[in-house]
Structure 1
Amino acid sequence: MTLTTSANRPVEQRLTNPSGVLADVAYAMTLPLVLLLAWEFSARLGWLPEQILPAPKVVWATIVELWRDGSLIDHTFVSLRRVAVGFTIGALSGLLAGALLGLLPGIRAFVWPIFTAVAQVNTLAWVPLLVLFVGIDEELKYVCIAWSTAIPVILATTRGIADVSPNLVELGRVFDFTPVQRISAIVLPAALPSLFTGLREGLAAAWQSLVIVELFASFEGLGYLMTWGRQLFQMELVIAAMLVIAVIGLSLNAILEYMEGFVQPWKTEALHGR
């Protein structure tokens, strides 16, 4: 018996089946609601001091207050701008580099060991070195976010292209496809799932590195808001910023998921046939 959820249901089917959408939302909200109840329960019983784990109502009141005075919107806009610029640069450069490595085995064999070693080092470890080259202003944040985004995109794109079945490539030669036709009609469609996996991982890495660089060198943004709350021993500020980051990240990931289904009509048709 197969459990059918929104994860394996076509986008069109979700949009045209309101009861299914409601069922999916209820299913997805079960665990968050359980965690919220556990949080409220532990706060009421005083299992942890308020300075460590403030009650949900305190965090909500903080979010409302930050929204009303405009500071939450300002910090969120700054962080979104940084992620948008860094992610765009990292994703485009990662797709280009991954495509070259995937399509050119000779270059991949030469570069891959060094690249794999570099990819093991966390972005935070590169920050002191990057400061020497780009300074501590906005450029540092863009470079760190782009770097964090590019690594998983390159890895996924390279593997997705390199793992395309040789039989499919040979089929293109049999039909006398040009190299461009083989890439557009065979390699790219086969590698698309890996490409979007890399983009989603790159987006998650972009938000993580954003928080790191805003903790390190910034006076605005959601990461800075978390630092300010920690310095003031106001955990409600920290948790409020964390929740905003989580909601935005979840929303952007959902957009990428929708785009993946949109550009892969054959996948949607296969799901309709189930």
Structure 2
Amino acid sequence: MAAAGRSSPVSAWRRLQERIAPRLVAWPFPLAVLLLWYLGARFEWIAPQVLPSPAAVWATLLDLLRTGEIWGHLQVSMTRVFAGFAVGLAVGGALGVAMGLSPTFKDYVYPLFKAFSQVPVLGWLPLLMLLVGIDEALKIILIAKAALVPIALNTCKGIQGVPTRYIEVARVLRFTRWQLLTKVVLPSAFAPIWSGVRYGFTHAWLALVVVELLASSEGIGFLIVYGRQLFQLDVVLAAVVVVGIVGYLLDKALALVELRLTRWRRAGF
């Protein structure tokens, strides 16, 4: 019989399986796609000029990393996405808080906001090109718009979902409006608000690539267009791989921040 407080080898193995199994389940499909890609290039089911082999794409990616070309484009893209996301976070957060706290304000603003959110990023591109040109302002505005919508909606939803009893207790304690907002409402609505932040950053990253594909002379999106114009599909695919990896890592970083913040909040209670 195992000693009290000490897990048996069987239970430890089961916990290890529960931890590893979900990660293993995610691997077969991408590996199958990679194998199909390799076979298609190996047996030339598609012309090599159209579908370079994985080895050629990998070699091109290493060359771009070695020469530093990819780092220059990535730095430009990261600067744009963080600037646009910061604007979207500020405006979307303020708008979401206002709509969540004031039903009257929401009644006035929400219909127009809903119509605004239904227009995709590319729908605003022609108008904004006429108003602000094709410089950095255009890209930051479009990225901010992409981030603003999910942040505002999730912030509003989170605030409206705060239990009424929390508000009543705060009023009994005679909290000021600022104390009510910072000590009760925002902490209680943290989970949906942070979900909006993560969705907002994901949308901002996607909008960045789209904008750079259409109106840019540098950045990861421009590198994709540049490779297509020169019919260098290995460069295109290498840039696509970088876009996917960077987007995945950024989302994982936000997930780690969320985990750290939720641990802090649980410890605080």
TM-score by length of structure 1 reads: 0.84
CA contact 1:97–1:154 (8 Å) conserved in 2: yes
Query: How far apart, in 2, do the equivalents of 1:20 and 1:43 lie?
Result: 37
Over the aligned positions, Cα root-mean-square deviation in angstroms equals: 2.4
Q: Does 1:257 align with 2:262?
A: no
- Offset of 1:210 from its aligned partner? 1.1
Inter-CA distance 57–172: structure 2 relative to 1 (3 Å threshold): same
CA contact 1:229–1:235 (8 Å) conserved in 2: yes
Q: Which moved more, 1:43-52 or 1:117-126?
A: 43-52
Q: Which moved more, 1:257-266 or 1:173-182?
A: 173-182
- Offset of 1:30 from its aligned partner? 4.5
Where does structure 1 lack aligned partners over 5 or more consecutive residues? 1-16, 270-274
Q: Which moved more, 1:165-174 or 1:94-103?
A: 165-174
- Give the aligned partner of residue 75 of structure 1: 73
Where does structure 2 lack aligned partners over 5 or more consecutive residues? 1-14
CA contact 1:261–1:268 (8 Å) conserved in 2: no
Query: Mapping of 1:182-197 within 5 angstroms?
Result: 182-197=180-195
Query: Mapping of 1:1-274 within 5 angstroms?
Result: 26=24, 28-265=26-263
Q: Which moved more, 1:258-267 or 1:152-161?
A: 258-267
- Give the aligned partner of residue 3 of structure 2: none
CA contact 1:89–1:146 (8 Å) conserved in 2: yes
Query: How far apart, in 1, do the equivalents of 2:197 and 2:16 lie?
Result: 29
- Offset of 1:181 from its aligned partner? 2.6
- Give the aligned partner of residue 7 of structure 2: none
Inter-CA distance 171–51: structure 2 relative to 1 (3 Å threshold): farther
Please state whether the residue corresponding to 1:264 is helix, strand or coil: helix
Query: How far apart, in 2, do the equivalents of 1:215 and 1:162 lie?
Result: 38
- Residue identity opposite 2:124 in structure 1: W
Query: How far apart, in 1, do the equivalents of 2:87 and 2:16 lie?
Result: 38
CA contact 1:130–1:140 (8 Å) conserved in 2: yes
- Give the aligned partner of residue 9 of structure 1: none
Query: How far apart, in 1, do the equivalents of 2:266 and 2:228 lie?
Result: 46
- Residue identity opposite 2:252 in structure 1: A
% identity of equivalent residues: 40
Query: How far apart, in 2, do the equivalents of 1:138 and 1:18 lie?
Result: 49
- Offset of 1:176 from its aligned partner? 3.3
